[in-house]
Chain A
Amino acid sequence: ETGVTQTPRHLVMGMTNKKSLKCEQHLGHNAMYWYKQSAKKPLELMFVYSLEERVENNSVPSRFSPECPNSSHLFLHLHTLQPEDSALYLCASSQVLFEAETQYFGPGTRLLVL
Chain B
Amino acid sequence: GENVEQHPSTLSVQEGDSAVIKCTYSDSASNYFPWYKQELGKGPQLIIDIRSNVGEKKDQRIAVTLNKTAKHFSLHITETQPEDSAVYFCAALDSWGKLQFGAGTQVVVTP
Contact = CB atoms under 8 A, between A and B. Distances in A.
A40 B99 contact: no
B18 interface: no
A90 B38 CA distance: 12
A100 B44 contact: no
Interface of A: 4, 9, 40-43, 45, 90, 92, 97-98, 100-101, 103-108
A106 B43 contact: yes
A42 B101 contact: yes
B32 to A, nearest CB: 6
Interface string B73-111: 000000000000000010101001111111110000000
Contacts of B49: 100-101
B47 to A, nearest CB: 12
A92 B43 CA distance: 9
A108 B102 CA distance: 18
Contact of B44 (A41, A45, A90, A98): A90
